[in-house]
Structures are given as C-alpha cells and as structure tokens.
Structure 1
C-alpha cells in the first residue's frame, strides 16, 4: 500500500513540472561549485550540504503544494489512514532528496574534483551529513505548505527567514554572550552541521556521531509534530463536514 502510494505521488508531482526549479537549483549549485578544481573535501561538503538544505526545503514546499490539496481527501480514503498518507508524502520527497545527496557527494569523487583522494570514512560521513541536512530542510518545509498557510507568499517568506536564521546560527552566537551557545542547537542545527564539516579534522568520531544523530533526531521530531498536527487537522475537518 505504502509503495503504490509513493509511486502515485511521485508520478503526480513529476506531471506537474513544478519540480524543475528546486531540482535545477540543487544540481546546478553542485556542478557550479566544482567547476574549478582542486577543492578541499570537507569544506566543499559544507557548502553542498547547505545547498541541499535550501533546495530540499524548496522541494518539500513545492511538492506538498503541487496539487493544492485537490486530491488529498481521495488519497486519504484510498490509503485508509490520514497518517499513512502524510507519511507517504514525506517519504516520497525524502527519497528524492536522498538521491540528490548521493549526487552531491559522489559527483566530485567520480570526476576527481578534490585536492586529495577521499577516504571511505570521509565519503560515508559526507553522505550521511548531506542526508541529515536534506531531511532537516524537508521537515521544516511541511509547516509552510498550503494546508497550513493559505497565503503562500507569506509562507515562502517565513520559510526563507527560517532558512537564513538556521544557516546563520553559529554567526549569531559569535556576537552574543557565551551562554547563548545553545542557540544553534535550538534552531534547526544546520550551522552546527556546517561547522562540523569545516572542522571535521578537529572533531572526534564520537562528536561527529552525536552531532549527526542530533540532526536526524531534530528532523524526526519535526516530522512527528507535523504528522500529529496534520492528522488532527484532517480529523477536525472531517468532523465539521459530518456535523
């Protein structure tokens, strides 16, 4: 059931042609970054992961809005549960971002764009970090879709602000008191991940593991909140219709 629903959602999205802009942004950004060689491995990964975070947030918003909710009720009935439908939506766009994460990491490796041979540990760390950043972007975007905010101009503006603040989290701390160092961790930990990439040689394996795990946990908490809110919203809507 879930597999067929994901395939249908993917087909529906690709027929809309709304996928072109965010996907083109991610692909072109990566190719442009590596248009000059050689490049430092982890610093480059920090930049491409940031590109994927922005592109995935754009892709997630674009995906959830591509039919303006016209098929939502029918697909919820077909899937049997609202929770299953909303989870399938998230999984569909996540699969796309996971593929683009692979492109961002393996493209420079295949074409020898780095200044030195890349170790397997660096490759694995880079890929998992890109996936974590992509899922953070998607997990943020779901709260700004049409069913939550009908004014999409305002929604896009607010999402853009959240993206900028998330990217600048570490910079905010530099200009404030030391005890505000928790701020980048309360915000979507995008700046924390970028800092981890740029200082990977100085971080222990345990710190790397904990930071990446925290990013995944943060994204999954956002997802859980979204699924709870979306399911309650859908149930309330059905009750109003019956009443």
Structure 2
C-alpha cells in the first residue's frame, strides 16, 4: 500500500504543508509546551484526513479487486490502508514532537512524559481523522467538491465543539456529543502541566472507541451494499 501510494506523489502536498507549517509556527520562541502541541494536533487532524482520502483512492477499482483476491479479504485490504495512513501520521507526529525540542522552542524543560502525552494525542487525533475521512473517499461514494467541503466542515466543527456548545441552548447542547471527539484531545492539552491519570486515559479510550465504531460502520455498509 505504501509503495503504491508513494509512487503517486499524492502525499507530497499534505506532508510538505504540515512540515512547513510546523517550522513557521516555531519561528518565534519561546512557546508554551502543551498549547503548541494542541495547535499541532489541530493541524495534523486536517492533514491526516487529506492523506487518508488520497491513500484510500490510490488503487483503481480493477487493481483493488486484484489486491482483494490476493488478500482474500476486503477487511485485510482496508486494515492495511488504515495502518499505512497511521504510519505516515506517526512520522509526522514524531516530527511535530522532536522538531521544537531540537530548536529549543519551549519556555520550559520538557519531560519524557510530556513527549509521550503529546505523541499519543497526535496519534489518536490522527486515528479519529482517518475514521471520518474514509466515509468521504471514492471507496465509499463518488467524491465531489461538496463532499470535500462537508468533510472540512465536520472536522472544523468538531474541533470547536466546546464553543458551539456554549452558544447553543441547553436543549440542543446534547446534539454536539455526536460530533467526533477531537475536542477531547485538545481539552487534555489545555493545561500546561498534565498528569497521566484515569481521566486522561478514559478520554483516550473514548476517542479510540469512537474511531473503531466508525470503522465498523464503514465496513458493515461496504459489505451490505457490495461497494468493493
């Protein structure tokens, strides 16, 4: 999957955009640690969705059918694509964590625990982004400009969910809970000092469970409708 995707060079624009954005964002130093990582999470959330759509659509229909024959399962092919996207997201996450450390961009010393929390936050928000983006790939339906705009709207709205909840009447506030929980990752990074306690772990597990549920729904719909 990665070999086919790399040969298309479709990864170049989103990867370069994220690298350039990261470098530019640390032009002025020093910066608060977790606030900076929260911004990196928001940026990676959008970039990984871009990567996910382009990688999911790398294979044409005939090539995908040949791949499925070799793998004997669409689930295996789908899992390989998800792992491929996560691998690329992990590389970008490492860059987002290591680069500011190398240039001394933070206003305090950064511990190993800080780096672990930041890296896990980047990985989990990437997983969530993938689980949303797959529904907007050609593997699920015909991609149009409106689908790109809808995907962008869902991603952005989920990031600012807390602000939307404050504006809506109490009777409608519960509706926001169906939105992807990317805001939970940002909430975790909202404090300058973070401890790896039960609340943080529960929020991480919620993001994982939400992502897995979306993957499950995607596969069930694909199998039921024969969209493969």
**In the alignment, structure 1 residue 18 sits paired with structure 2 residue 13:** no
CA shift at 1:121, angstroms? Answer: 1.6
Mind listing any 5+ residue stretches in structure 2 that lack a counterpart?
none
Q: Secondary structure of 1:108's partner? A: helix
Correspondence for 1:42: 34
Aligned pairs (5 A) from 1:1-243: 9-178=1-170, 182-199=174-191, 201=193, 205-233=197-225, 236=226
Sort the Cα spacing of 1:82 and 1:202 in 2 relative to 1 into closer, same or farther, 3 A: closer
Please, what TM-score do these two structures have when normalized by structure 1? 0.86
Mind listing any 5+ residue stretches in structure 1 that lack a counterpart?
1-8, 239-243
Q: Which moved more, 1:69-78 or 1:44-53?
A: 69-78
What is the aligned residue count?
A: 228
Q: Are 1:184 and 1:191, in contact at CA under 8 Å, matched by a contact in 2?
A: no
Tell me the distance in 2 between the aligned counterparts of 1:181 and 1:205.
27
Tell me the distance in 2 between the aligned counterparts of 1:174 and 1:202.
25
Instruction: Please list the CA deviations of residues 171-209 of structure 1 after superposition, one character each: whole Å capped at 9, or x if unmatched.
Output: 101112356555554211112211221135477722211
Tell me the distance in 2 between the aligned counterparts of 1:225 and 1:118.
39
Q: Secondary structure of 1:198's partner? A: coil
Instruction: Please list the CA deviations of residues 14-48 of structure 1 after superposition, one character each: whole Å capped at 9, or x if unmatched.
Output: 11111111111221221111121101001001100
CA shift at 1:231, angstroms? Answer: 3.4
Sort the Cα spacing of 1:203 and 1:182 in 2 relative to 1 into closer, same or farther, 3 A: farther
Q: Which moved more, 1:66-75 or 1:200-209?
A: 200-209
Tell me the distance in 2 between the aligned counterparts of 1:184 and 1:120.
34
Q: Which moved more, 1:194-203 or 1:219-228?
A: 194-203
Q: Are 1:26 and 1:51, in contact at CA under 8 Å, matched by a contact in 2?
A: yes
The CA RMSD over aligned residues, in Å, is 2.0
Q: Are 1:87 and 1:227, in contact at CA under 8 Å, matched by a contact in 2?
A: no
Tell me the distance in 2 between the aligned counterparts of 1:68 and 1:155.
20
Q: Are 2:34 and 2:189, in contact at CA under 8 Å, matched by a contact in 1?
A: yes
Instruction: Please list the CA deviations of residues 126-146 of structure 1 after superposition, one character each: whole Å capped at 9, or x if unmatched.
Output: 110110011111111100011
Please, what TM-score do these two structures have when normalized by structure 2? 0.91
Tell me the distance in 2 between the aligned counterparts of 1:237 and 1:10.
23
